Amino acid sequence: MNFFLPTELLDATRLTKAGQLTEATAALQRMLGAGLPVNSAALQARHGPPTIDGMVDGPEMVQPKLAPPGNRTFSDGIEDPAFRIKNKLNKPGLVNSLRGFIDQAAHGGFQLPGGLGHRAPTPIPAGLPIGAEFLACTFSNQAGSRPYKLYVPSGYHGQSVSLIVMLHGCTQSPDDFAAGTRMNAAAEEHTCLVAYPGQTSSANMQKCWNWFSAADQQRDAGEPSLIAGITREVMRDYAIDPRCVYIAGLSAGGAAAAIMGDAYPDLYAAIGVHSGLARGAARDMPSAFAAMQGNGAPAPRHARTGPAGSRPRVVPAIVFHGDKDTTVNPRNADFVVAQSGQGASLRRRVEKGQVAGGLAYSRMLHADASGETVVEQWVIHGAGHAWSGGSPAGSYTLPRGPDATGEMVRFFLEHPLPPGMHHK
C-alpha cells in the first residue's frame, strides 16, 4: 500500500524551508481540520482513484531531485505533489505527528526528522583540566566544509591513543553535546581524543545531520565524506591508533553514525547509536517521517570485505533507546541491531537492571560463535528521547538513566578493529 502526501503538507514543507512558520502551521491546520484530505482530482488524473483512508495501490514512490549537499536543507527536493511513500503509514500516527509539529511551531520549537526540538545550546563549562585542550577546527573537501571541536586530554603526550567521533542531534552543537554527554570527562579517564563534528544551519536549518538524504548515505560522498575527512585529519595530526577509532551519535547523529559504520567498516572499529535509526531507513524527508514512526526498515549492509577478500565483518554496535521515545520510535533500535548483525549467526541473552534511584533497563547481548558480544542493545524503561545518564549541563539528557557514555566507551575499547582491516 502507498500513501499520498497531501498537497498542504508539501506546501507547509516549502513554507518552513522559507522560514514562514506561521504560514506553514496554517497550512497544516487546514489539512488536519479537513481530516487529512487527498487532492483526489489531481491524483486521479495522474495515478487513478485512491482507495479507503487515503491508501492506494500502485507503483513505487517517485524519487525526488535532491539539491547539492552544500545548499540543501531538510526539505529540499520535495517538488512532486503526488509523492508516494512505500511504507505503510498509520494515519492516526501521522495526524499525531503533524499535531505535534503544529504545537511545537506555535511555541517556537519546530521539530525535524531525526530531530530534537528547538532549545538554545548550552555552552560547555569554561574550566578544563590543566594540560587539556578543546580546540575549534574546520575541515573542507569537495562536499563542503564543517566545523568541529577536538578534545585533547591532559594525559596525551604523543603516545598512541583511541579516537571517538561524536555526532550531535538536531539543534545541538559540539559544545552542547560535549556538556550533555560528559564524553570529555571519559576521555580524561581513558586518555583518548574526542572529535565533535558540527552541522551547519546552511546544510540543514535545524542543524540535523541529513541522515534521510540518499546523497548523504554513501561512502566518500556528501556528509559521510566530511565526517570521515574530519576523522582522518585528526588521525593525521595526532598519534591515533588506527585500530581504535569509533563513532557515536544521538538521534539524527545516531542515524549518521549508523551510516558511517556501514559505509566505513575499515575506518571505524565500532559504533554507538543512541535514539537513532538504521542506515537506509529513509531516502527523503517524507520517508523520514515514516521511519521515525517505526515504519521504516534497514537497508541491506554494504558487502565490503577485508583486504584478504574475507566476508563482510559485523561492525560491533552498542545501541541505546528509551521505550517511551515519541520522537524516534523504539522499533528503530531493533532495526539498527538487525542491520549490525546482518549475515551473522548471533546468540542472544538478556540481562535486567536498574540504576540506583533511577530507571530500569533491559540489556540484550548478541554474541558470535566465539562467545564475543558484538552487538549490545540497551532498552531504557520509561525513557524518552534523550541521552541516558547525561548531564543537565547539556540539552536532551536523562540523568536518571544508565550511563550511556561510560558503557559506550567500555564497549568501544573492548572492540578494536581486526588485524588487516584498516586502510587509509
Mean pLDDT along residues 16-20: 54
Q: Give me the helix-helix angle, 331-340 and 252-263, nearest 10°.
A: 10
Q: What's residue 97's pLDDT?
A: 45
- Residue 219 pLDDT: 97
Q: What is the mean pLDDT of the chain?
A: 78
Q: 105 versus 201: which is more confidently predicted? A: 201
Q: Is residue 114 scored above 90 in pLDDT? A: no
What is the helix, strand, coil percentage profile of the chain, to 5? 30, 20, 50
Q: What is the pLDDT of residue 235?
A: 98
- What pLDDT band is residue 250 in, cutting at 50, 70 and 90? very high
Q: How confident is the model at residue 213 (pLDDT cuts 50, 70, 90)?
A: very high
Per-residue pLDDT, 15: 57
Comparing 9-13, 155-159, 242-246, which segment has the lowest mean pLDDT?
9-13
What confidence tier does 313 reach under pLDDT thresholds 50, 70, 90?
confident
Report residue 271's pLDDT band, with 50, 70 and 90 as the boundaries. very high
d(CA 196, CA 3): 38
Mean pLDDT of 116-133: 64
| Beta strands 55-56; 2-4: pairing state | antiparallel
Helix axes of 183-190 and 404-413: crossing angle, nearest 10 degrees: 40
- The pLDDT score that the predictor gives to residue 393 is 96
Inter-residue contact 333 to 377 (CB < 8 Å): yes
Judge whether 174 and 199 are in contact, CB under 8 Å: no
Going by C-alpha positions, the residue among 383, 415, 414 that lies closest to residue 401 is 383
Residue 399 pLDDT exceeds 60:
yes
Residue-wise pLDDT for 315-350, tens only, equals 999 999 999 999 999 999 999 999 998 767 899 999
Are 255 and 294 contacting, i.e. CB atoms less than 8 angstroms apart? Answer: no
* Cβ–Cβ under 8 Å, residues 312 and 305: yes
Q: What is the rounded CA–CA span in Å between residue 90 and residue 131?
A: 54
Alpha carbons 298 and 223: distance in angstroms, whole number: 19
For residue 373, the cross-strand partners are 367
Q: How far apart are CA 115 and CA 169, in angstroms?
A: 7
**pLDDT value at position 309?**
47
pLDDT, residue 420, reads: 77
Cβ–Cβ < 8 Å for 147, 137: yes
Half-sphere exposure of 369 (CA within 13 A, CB side): 3
Torsion angles phi and psi, residue 312, rounded to 5:
-55, 130
